[in-house]
Amino acid sequence: MTSSVDHSCGDTQRPLAILSAPGSRGDVNPMVAIGKQLRRRGFDVVISLAQPYAGLAESAGLTPFIAIDENRFGELLGAAEVWKPLSGLRIVLQGAASEYLVPHFELIQRLKRPGRTVLVSHPLDFASRIHRDLDPTIPLVDVVLSPMMIRDPLVPPRLSPWWFEPRKPPWLMRAGYWLGDHLLLDRYLGKSINDLRHSLSLRPVRRIMDRWWWSPDAILSLYPDWFGSVAPPTDGQWHACGFPLDVNSGTLPDDTNAFEDELAASKRPIFFTPGTAHRHAKEFFEMAIDVCQSLDMPAILATSHQDQLPSRLPPTIRGVGYVPLGKVLPHCSAIVHHGGIGTTAHSIAWACPQVVLPMAFDQFHNGMRVQQLGLGKTIDRPRRRSLHRALAEVLGDPTQPLRCQAIAEKTQGRDGAEIAAERIIDCLSDHQT
C-alpha cells in the first residue's frame, strides 16, 4: 500500500527535494531534520517513509509518501530475528530492495522537475542510485548516518559482537568484503535491483554495496569527523556535517510537572531505552529493574511499546513512551541503550555517560566508538552481572562526567542538518550551471 502524492504538489517553479527514509524513527528523524532545513530555504520537500512516521513528516512541513503501510512495517520490525546481526541484515536489506525500491523509484519519476530536483538518499535507498544512472542531470546526495556504513580495510568498522570478527590485516578485510558481497549482500539485493535496471535498459551491477552504492555527486556524513573520519571510496565529494541534534520532537508524559520534579530529584535516574522500534525488550527491562534495585538507583524505562514493561513497576522506576532526549538526559546520571546513532549522538551532546548494549546493524560500531572516546562502556553480551558492573564503574568514576563534558563541547555549534541542507543546495546549484 502506498499513498499518492499530487504530481503538481507545490509550485513547480520551486526547487524540489525528494528524500527517502526507509526504517524506524532513528532513520526518519535525521532525514526529516534535513527536510525542515530545506523547507526553510525555499524547497518543496517530499519524503517517502513508513506509515507510522507520516505525521512526523507532516508536522515538519514536509509532504509524506507512504511507501510501507503500517501493518507491513509492523511485520518487518516485529520479528525477533530483526535484532540479530545476520538475520537482521537479511530482513532489512531484502525489505528495502523488494518492497521500497519500486515505489520510491516511481515517486521520483512522477514528481521530478527537470533542472530543479535533487534526490537525498538514505543508505537503504537503492532506487535513487538507479535513477542517477538513468538520468545524471538530477543530482543525488547520499546521507550516511553512521561510520559503520563505510568500508575501510585499514580501520574497519565493527559489524558484530563476535570476538573472532577479523579486523586485520587489510588484505584479509578486502577479501572479507569481497566474500560478503558475493555470498550475502548481492544475494539479498541483486535480483530486485537488477530486475529494475533491466526494465530501464541499464546494465546489471554487482558488488552493490561496494563502490556502485555511493553517489558520484555528493556524500554527507551526519556525524562529525572525530566520530568517524573515513571517506567512502568514490569520486563523489564527501563532507562531514556533524550530528543532527535538532530532532527532539516528542512529548513528556501527561503528568509533566510531576515527571519534571522527579527528574530534578537529588538522585538522578538512569535512563533505559532499547530503541523506538524494538518490540522484544521484556528481558531488557526486567534486567534494568533488577540492576537498578541492586544499585539502589531510580530509573526511567522508555519504550514506544508499553506491553514490553511489567504491569507493575517499583515506586522508584518510571515507564514512559517516546520522550525528547534533550529534555531528559541533562537530568540523568547515565543512559543504557542499544547503540543507535541518534541515541548515541544525543547522549554525547548532553554529556550523559553511556552503557551500550548493541544488538544489530550499526550498533556494534557506535558502541565501540563510545568506549574508545571514554564516554562509557559497551557490553557485547548483556547479562545482569555485566550490566551491574558496567553501571557501577561508570557511576563510580569521578572523571567520567569530565570526559563526557569535554567531548560534548565538540558538538556545540551549527546543527548537522543545517550544514547538510547547505551542501545539498550547493550540489543542485553545481548541476544547474
Whether 302 has a pLDDT exceeding 50, the answer reads yes
Do 222 and 315 have their domain in common? Answer: no
Pairing of strands 44-50, 376-378: unpaired
Q: How far apart (Å, rounded) are the C-alpha atoms in residues 343 and 358?
A: 12
User: Is pLDDT at 7 greater than 70 in this prediction?
Assistant: no
Residue 372 lies in a domain: yes
One domain for residues 161 and 266: no
**Distance from the first to the final alpha carbon of the chain:** 39
Q: Do 236 and 276 fall within a single domain?
A: no
Note whether residue 247 is domain-resident: no
- CB count within 10 Å of CB 189 equals 22
**Can you tell me the distance from the alpha carbon of 182 to that of 192, in angstroms, rounded to the nearest whole number?**
16
pTM: 0.90
In the predicted structure, residue 315 carries a pLDDT above the cut 60: yes
Number of domains into which the chain is organized: 2
Predicted pLDDT of residue 1: 44
Query: If you compute the radius of gyration of the chain from its CA atoms, what whole number of angstroms results?
Result: 21
How many angstroms separate the CA atoms of 353 and 18, rounded? 37
Q: Look at residue 4 in the predicted model and tell me its pLDDT.
A: 53
pLDDT at 196: 96
- Do 170 and 283 reside in the same domain of the chain? no
Question: Both 406 and 421 in a single domain?
Answer: no
Same structural domain, 110 and 135: yes
| Distance from the Cα of residue 245 to its chain's centroid | 12
The answer as to whether 5 is a domain residue is: no
Residues 22 and 156 in one domain: yes
Q: Are residues 288 and 346 in the same domain?
A: yes
Q: What per-residue confidence (pLDDT) applies to 371?
A: 95
Report whether pLDDT(46) > 90.
yes
Q: Do 427 and 407 share a structural domain?
A: no
CA 41 centroid distance within chain: 24
| Mean pLDDT, range 47-69, rounded to an integer | 92
Residue for grid cell 533491466: 198
Closest of 310, 307, 335, 320 to residue 258, by C-alpha: 320
**What is the structure's pLDDT at 431?**
86
Would you state the pLDDT for residue 335?
97
| Cα dihedral 128, 133, 134, 139 sign | positive
Q: Is residue 212 part of a domain?
A: yes
Q: Is residue 335 part of a domain?
A: yes
Residue 346's pLDDT band (cuts 50, 70, 90): very high
Q: What's the pLDDT tens digit per position in 83-122? A: 676 676 777 777 767 788 999 999 999 999 999 999 999 9
Domain of 355? 256-411
d(C-alpha 39, C-alpha 321), whole Å: 29
- Residue 256 binned pLDDT confidence (cut-offs 50, 70, 90): very low
* 361 and 89 Cβ atoms separated by less than 8 Å: yes
Residues 268 and 156 in one domain: no
Question: Across all residues in the chain, what is the average pLDDT?
Answer: 87
Is 270 in a helix, a strand, or coil? strand
Is the torsion defined by CA of 90, 91, 94, 96 positive or negative? negative
Residue 226 phi, psi (nearest 5): -75, -15
Answer yes or no: is 173 within a domain: yes
For the beta sheet containing 354-356, the strands, ordered from the edge strand earlier in sequence to the opposite edge, are 317-320, 299-302, 270-273, 334-337, 354-356, 376-378
By residue count, the chain amounts to 433
Asked if the structure places residue 249 within a domain, the reply is: no
Residue 146 domain-assigned?
A: yes
Q: How far is CA 120 from the centre of its chain?
A: 15
**Is-contact 325 343, C-beta < 8 A?**
yes
Residues 348-391 pLDDT 10s: 999 999 999 998 788 899 999 999 999 999 998 878 899 999 99
Same domain, 55 and 181: yes
- Report helix, strand or coil for 124: coil
pLDDT of residue 433: 72
Residues 6+ apart with CB under 8 A from 307: none
CA angle centred on 374, ends 385 and 362, rounded to 5°? 75
Q: Same structural domain for residues 267 and 346?
A: yes
The domain that contains 137 carries what CATH number? 3.40.50.2000
